[in-house]
Structure 1
Amino acid sequence: MALMTGKNCSDTLKMHENSPEHTKNMGSWKELESRIKKGQTIDKVELALINTERRRWREVLTRFVAIIHSLAERNVPLRGSTETLYQPNNGNFLKEVELMAQFDPVLKEHIARVQGGASPTSYLGNIIQNELIDCIIAAEGTAQIKEYFMGFLEAEQTTGEGLSTLIFKKLKENKQ
C-alpha cells in the first residue's frame, strides 16, 4: 500500500474532479438541490397524490358513517336482498348512498369510479358496513348491535300488539 503525499493527493483529487463521472454526479446533485428548493421532486408529487387519495377516502368514509349513523338512530335496517347499486331491493344503506350521490360531488365521483372500474374497492358491501358499525360503537361506547335467529313462530294475530306479545314471550323463554 502506497502512502499518498500532499502532491499525490492533490493530483488525485484534481483528476477525480475532472472525471466525467464526477461531473455527471455533481450536475445531478445540483439539479436535485434546485428541485428540492422549488418543491419539484418526484417524491413531493407522489406524496401529494397519496395525500389527495387519503383525503378522498376520508371524505367518502365520513359520508358512509353518517348514513349508517342516521339509519341506526332511526332503527332502520341497512341491507336488502342485493348489494348492487341502482338495483331494486338493495337496502336502505345503498339507497341513501344513491340519493346523496345526486347532490354530493364526493359520492358522485366515488360511484362513478366504482362503476367505471377505476376503483376496485368500493366500501359499499356488508363487510365494511359491519366494520363501520363496530367503529361507531367503539368510538361512542354505546349499545351493541346483535342479530339472533330465534326460530319460526306461529302468529295467531298479525297485529302489531299480537306480534310484539309473541316476540316478547319468545325472548323470555330464551333467557331461561
Structure 2
Amino acid sequence: MISKGKLGDEGYSDWHHDTNRVKEHEISLDRLTNRNKWFDMRKRLNLNETIDKVQYEQFKKERDCWKQVFLQIIAIVKFLAKHNLAFRGSNEKLYKKGNGNFLGVIEMLEEFDPVIKEHVRQITNDELHVYYLGHMIQNELIFLIAQEIKKELIKTIKEEKYYSVILDCTPDSSHQEQMTIIVRYLKLSYNFVTVEEFFLGFLNVDDTFRKGLFDITIEELKSFGLEIDDMRG
C-alpha cells in the first residue's frame, strides 16, 4: 500500500481517488517540513545569512561581471553593424595583426574599461576556456538582433496597415540567386506624412520565372504575418 504523503517520490496510479491523495500530500509531514525549510532558506538568502554566503557573493559577482561583458560585446556588434563595417579579419586572436574590427575594438576598450581589461587578462593568461569573442557568438548576436529589429519593423508596418513591396534579384558570390525584399509604406504622424522603406531580408530563389518569384514573395509575406489584401503595389 502506498503510504500517505509520498506522492512526490513513490508514484501513484489510483487516479479515481487522486483528489484525496493530493489533499493527503498537501498536509503530509514531508511536504510541510520541506516548505518550512524553503521559507527559511528564502528568508536567509534575502538577509544574506546563508552558510555559503561567500560562495553566493562570488557567484553574484561573476554573474554581474559576465553581464557587463555581454552588454559591451552586444554594443560592439550593434556599432559595427550600424556603420556597415566588417567584423573579422584574417585571424581571430587578440593583439594579432589583421584580427579585424571586432577584436580591435575589444583591444581599444581594454585600455580604458576595467571589466574588459579583466576579461582580456583572463583570456591571455588562459584562465578562461570560453570567452565569447569568436565568430560564432558574433554571428549569433547579429542574428538575434536582426530578428528583434525585424519584429519591430513588421509591427510598425502592421500599424500603418497598407504597404507596397520592392523586389530585386541578384546572384551572390556562390552564384546563388537571391532576391531582396523591401517594404514601403506611408507613415502618418500628426500633420506629416513620410514615405518609409524597410529592408526585410534576402530570399534564396531557385525559380526566377514570374510564377516562382510571386510564390516565394507571398510565402515570405505570410511568414511575416502581413495581410496580402493590404498590399497596394
Please state which band the TM-score falls in when normalised by the shorter chain: 0.5 to 0.7
**Whole-angstrom distance in 1 between the partners of 2:53 and 2:134:** 34
Mapping of residues 39-118 of structure 1, within 5 Å: 39-118=48-127
Matched residue of 1:54: which SS? helix
**Whole-angstrom distance in 1 between the partners of 2:69 and 2:82:** 20
Query: Please, which moves more after superposition, 67-76 or 113-122?
Result: 113-122
Deviations 1:19-68 (A, max 9, x none): xxxxxxxxxxxxxxxxx698453332222111111111110011011111
1:175 deviates by 7.9
TM-score of the pair, normalised by structure 1: 0.58
* Aligned counterpart, 1:123: 132
Q: What letter is aligned with 1:117? A: D
Identify the match of residue 150 of structure 1 among 169, 174, 183: 174
Matched residue of 2:52: which SS? helix
TM-score of the pair, normalised by structure 2: 0.45
CA spacing shift, 1:139–1:40, aligned 2, 3 Å: same
**Whole-angstrom distance in 2 between the partners of 1:54 and 1:140:** 27
What do you get for the CA RMSD once the two structures are aligned? Answer: 2.6
Identity score, percent: 37
Deviations 1:87-144 (A, max 9, x none): 111011000110111111111110001111111111110011111112212333369x
Q: What letter is aligned with 2:85? A: V
Number of aligned residues: 116
Q: Larger Cα Rg: Structure 1 or Structure 2?
A: 1
Greater RCO (CA < 8 Å, at least 6 residues apart): 1
Q: What letter is aligned with 2:174? A: M
Query: What residue ranges of structure 2 are gaps of 5+ in the alignment?
Result: 1-43, 154-171, 176-205, 209-233
